[in-house]
């Protein structure tokens, strides 16, 4: 009795801790980025610079941790990082998608409220289905397609309701759709490119962020963000840089925490947790920004969350069936998209 209960309690506690950590980092990052990108008190109109800074910090943190791992035993699993131009070039197509992903994510967040952000980027699942058919020739079951239909319905209803409340930003919607597409492409390209970096997500993160930093510089010049920064009144403000650094640290941590959550639970539970987190984030945003939303607006949110959840669940069931019955044709072996 007693001996068996303790490890179970420990395991449950550890899982609870990991899930809480994921929720905290993920939600805090969204609110922090909203502040940096679009806060009336900050008035900084330089979304690319904010994104560039986070990429630079992520690359620096990767390098720092890898040097730390080389010096001492506290974190062994980390490979030594060095920049190989040949590898950098091979990773470039993925880096382009990665830049598209982080930039459009931030631009979507800049133009829409935190409350609507989740609906704005809800089409990732739909793109997963489309792209796995177009690029990988994988078909999707009827139930999974129905779940996608619910998501699309929720997305449209959400746009309709934002319009009715006068808070609709077509720019935000455009970048939300682009972000969804890039998240989906990112997953597919990551699989393709991983062998180039010996299957190390860690190395890939490093190369992606270094490439991004280099490519962001001309983009920032093009959009006149250096001029914006030059005239920015809080450039010498330590609080501003503290917030920027915190945003970067959270951006770095989110990948690690996501990996932890998948490792200690399962991809399915991770998706469920992500859905619940999105729900909590929406409610928090509505309360925090003191917004009032219509019944139909909430319905659109629930449709998007419900559809995403149903899709994940259907996929999970199908994967279990594949594992039990080895004769299922490989076209149905489709992985869960986040």
Determine the average pLDDT of the residues in 88-96. Answer: 96
Whole-angstrom distance, CA of residue 27 vs CA of residue 287: 14
Determine the average pLDDT of the residues in 244-263. Answer: 93
> Among 79, 69, 139, 46, which residue's Cα sits nearest to residue 328?
139
Task: Output the DSSP codes for 182-223.
Answer: HHHHHHHHHHHHGGGGTT-HHHHHHHHHHHHHHHHHHHHHHT
| Confidence at residue 319, expressed as pLDDT on a 0 to 100 scale | 87
For residue 263, count CB atoms less than 10 angstroms from its CB and return exposed for 0-12, middle for 13-18, buried for 19 or more: exposed
Q: Break the chain into its structural domains and give their ranges.
A: 16-323
- Tens-digit pLDDT profile for residues 282-295: 999 999 999 999 99
Name the one residue in this structure whose structure tokens are 């179970």.
8
**76 pLDDT higher than 60:** no
Confidence of residue 332 (pLDDT cuts 50, 70, 90): very low
Whole-angstrom distance, CA of residue 111 vs CA of residue 167: 10
**195 pLDDT higher than 50:** yes
The DSSP secondary-structure symbol of 291 reads -
pTM of the model: 0.90
Please state, in angstroms and as integers, the Cα–Cα distance from residue 228 to each residue in 42, 46, 142, following that order: 13, 7, 50
**4 pLDDT higher than 80:** no
Confidence of residue 81 (pLDDT cuts 50, 70, 90): confident
Name the one residue in this structure whose structure tokens are 């091979």.
90
What are the phi and psi torsion angles at 293 (to 5°)? -120, 145
CB 131 within 8 A of CB 138: no
The DSSP secondary-structure symbol of 155 reads H
- In whole numbers, what is the pLDDT of the chain averaged over residues? 91
| Confidence at residue 336, expressed as pLDDT on a 0 to 100 scale | 40
- Tens-digit pLDDT profile for residues 125-161: 999 999 999 998 999 999 999 999 999 999 999 999 9
Q: String of b and e for 123-142 (b: at least 16 CB within 10 Å)?
A: bbbbbbbebbeeeeebebee
At CB < 8 A and 24+ separation, what contacts does 331-336 make?
331/137, 331/138, 331/139, 332/138, 332/139, 332/141, 333/138, 334/132, 334/138, 334/140, 336/267, 336/268, 336/271, 336/312
Confidence of residue 333 (pLDDT cuts 50, 70, 90): very low
Helix 201-222 / helix 238-264 crossing angle, nearest 10 deg: 150
CB 103 within 8 A of CB 122: no
**96 pLDDT higher than 70:** yes
């Amino acid at each position: 009795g007693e001996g068996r209960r303790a490890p179970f309690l420990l395991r449950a506690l550890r899982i609870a801790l990991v899930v809480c950590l994921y929720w905290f980092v993920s939600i805090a990052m969204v609110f922090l980025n909203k502040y940096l990108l679009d806060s009336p008190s900050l008035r900084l109109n330089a979304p690319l610079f904010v994104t560039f800074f986070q990429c630079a910090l992520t690359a620096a943190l990767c390098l720092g941790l890898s040097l730390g791992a080389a010096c001492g035993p506290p974190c062994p699993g980390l490979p030594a990082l060095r920049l190989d131009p040949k590898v950098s070039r091979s990773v470039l197509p993925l880096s382009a998608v990665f830049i598209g992903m982080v930039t459009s994510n931030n631009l979507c967040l800049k133009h829409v409220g935190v409350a609507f952000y989740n609906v704005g980027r809800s089409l990732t699942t739909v793109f997963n289905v489309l792209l796995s058919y177009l690029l990988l020739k994988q078909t999707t079951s009827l139930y999974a397609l129905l779940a996608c239909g619910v998501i699309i319905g929720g997305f449209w209803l959400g746009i309709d309701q934002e319009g009715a409340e006068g808070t609709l930003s077509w720019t935000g919607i455009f970048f939300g759709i682009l972000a969804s597409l890039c998240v989906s492409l990112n997953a597919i390209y990551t699989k393709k490119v991983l062998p180039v970096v010996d299957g190390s997500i860690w190395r890939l993160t490093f190369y992606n962020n270094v490439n991004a930093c280099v490519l962001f510089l001309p983009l920032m010049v093009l959009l006149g963000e250096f001029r914006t920064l030059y005239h920015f009144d809080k450039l010498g403000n330590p609080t501003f840089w503290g917030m920027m650094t915190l945003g970067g640290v959270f951006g770095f941590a989110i990948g690690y925490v996501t990996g932890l959550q998948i490792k200690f639970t399962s991809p399915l539970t991770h998706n469920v947790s992500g859905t619940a987190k999105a729900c909590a984030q929406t409610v928090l945003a509505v309360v925090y920004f003191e917004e009032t939303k219509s019944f139909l607006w909430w319905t659109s949110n629930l449709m998007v969350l419900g559809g995403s959840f149903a899709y994940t669940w259907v996929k999970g069931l199908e994967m279990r069936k594949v594992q039990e019955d080895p004769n299922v044709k490989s076209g149905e072996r489709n992985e869960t998209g986040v």
